[in-house]
């Protein structure tokens, strides 16, 4: 299948540190791609590059076969590349509804109030819609961040550690949302998280990142049973 998103040979250096070294990977239409790797592997830097928050020193990002120009996060969001942040970056004094509405308005989404109401419904946030983000539990705050990412009806949504800190019910809610989004649209999702069991339950393919490299990519079961992942990520010596 022709990739919807293709990352080719991307490198990012922070001084002498190679946060990303010639990283290449692709996302297929309608798939959930998992990305796993230890802290510092380069996952969030990769998200920054894809979503226009950081210009790589080399490499290209293509969408639907066309190389994207150097451009900022707003332009990338309007193209359909959306993300959540590891540190949620909500407006904590604003309500759940206002957080999503502000984002919709900032991006010039049509009928932003209706769009916000539809997202609140899909994320089961309607009851909490008029409560300030600060007063809501983490799981709800994370849902608001997902809601903000959804305002543009993105083609690809990248969720950066959406499961961290959630209990079993919270994890299930995110997994259900991913499944229903994949079923109802041609939307692709990139799920980055350390909860490998939860990632494996929804991702058909996984990319394993290590020390700034995309070391391995393939079907979920193959990547998770590889000796590289066992040794370098799970910390086990493969027998």
Least gap, CB of 35 to ligand ADP (angstroms): 9
Q: Nearest to residue 23, comparing CAs of 9, 34, 13? A: 9
Backbone angles phi, psi at 229, to 5 degrees: -65, -40
- In the shown chain, the binding pattern of residues 41 to 80 toward Mg ion, with x for contact by CB under 5 A and - for none, equals --xx------------------------------------
Q: Nearest to residue 155, comparing CAs of 50, 53, 71, 72? A: 50
Q: Please identify, using beta-carbon distances, which residue of 101 and 232 lies nearer to Mg ion.
A: 232
Q: Please identify, using beta-carbon distances, which residue of 44 and 173 lies nearer to ligand ADP.
A: 44
Least gap, CB of 20 to ligand ADP (angstroms): 8
Does the footprint of ligand ADP cover residue 19 (CB under 6 A)? Answer: yes
Is 145 within 8 Å of 100 (Cβ atoms)? no
Is 96 within 8 Å of 133 (Cβ atoms)? yes
Least gap, CB of 132 to ligand ADP (angstroms): 29
Is 200 within 8 Å of 224 (Cβ atoms)? yes
Single residue of 6, 32, 45, 99 touching ligand ADP by CB under 6 A: 45
- In this structure, the strands spanning 17-27 and 66-67 are unpaired
Least gap, CB of 43 to Mg ion (angstroms): 5
Residue nearest to Mg ion (CB): 44
Euclidean distance between CA atoms 166 and 111, whole angstroms: 32
Q: Please identify, using beta-carbon distances, which residue of 170 and 212 lies nearer to ligand ADP.
A: 212
Least gap, CB of 14 to ligand ADP (angstroms): 4
- In this structure, the strands spanning 58-63 and 66-67 are antiparallel
Least gap, CB of 154 to ligand ADP (angstroms): 20
Does the footprint of ligand ADP cover residue 239 (CB under 6 A)? Answer: no
Biggest alpha carbon–alpha carbon distance for the chain: 58
Does the footprint of ligand ADP cover residue 224 (CB under 6 A)? Answer: no
Q: Which of these ranges, 39-47, 108-116, 162-170, 171-179, lies near ligand ADP under the rule CB under 6 A?
A: 39-47
- Residue 149 interacts with which of ligand ADP, Mg ion, none, CB < 5 to 8 Å by class: none
Q: Which of these ranges, 24-32, 40-48, 55-63, 67-75, lies near ligand ADP under the rule CB under 6 A?
A: 40-48
Tokens of 125: 């946030």
Backbone angles phi, psi at 72, to 5 degrees: -90, 180
Looking at the chain, the number of H-run helices and the number of E-run strands are 9, 10
């Amino acid at each position: 299948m022709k990739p919807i998103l293709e990352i080719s040979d991307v490198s990012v250096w922070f001084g002498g540190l190679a946060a990303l070294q010639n990283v290449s990977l692709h996302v297929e239409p309608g798939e959930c791609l998992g990305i796993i790797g230890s802290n510092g592997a380069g996952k969030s830097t990769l998200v920054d590059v894809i979503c226009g928050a950081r210009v790589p020193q080399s490499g290209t990002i293509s969408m639907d076969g066309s190389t994207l120009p150097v451009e900022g996060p707003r332009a990338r969001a309007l193209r359909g590349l959306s993300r959540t942040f590891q540190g949620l970056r909500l407006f904590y004094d604003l309500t759940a509804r206002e957080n999503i509405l502000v984002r919709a308005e900032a991006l010039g989404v049509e009928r932003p109030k209706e769009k916000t109401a539809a997202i609140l419904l899909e994320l089961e946030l309607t009851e909490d819609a008029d409560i300030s983000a600060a007063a809501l539990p983490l799981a709800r705050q994370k849902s608001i961040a997902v809601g903000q990412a959804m305002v543009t009806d993105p083609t690809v949504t990248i969720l950066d550690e959406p499961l961290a800190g959630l209990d079993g019910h919270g994890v299930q809610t995110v997994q259900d949302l991913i499944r229903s989004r994949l079923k109802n649209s041609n939307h692709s999702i990139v799920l980055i998280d350390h909860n490998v069991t939860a990632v494996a339950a929804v991702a058909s393919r996984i990319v394993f990142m290590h020390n700034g490299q995309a070391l391995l990519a393939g079907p979920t079961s193959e990547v998770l049973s590889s000796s590289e992942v066992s040794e370098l990520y799970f910390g086990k010596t493969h027998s």
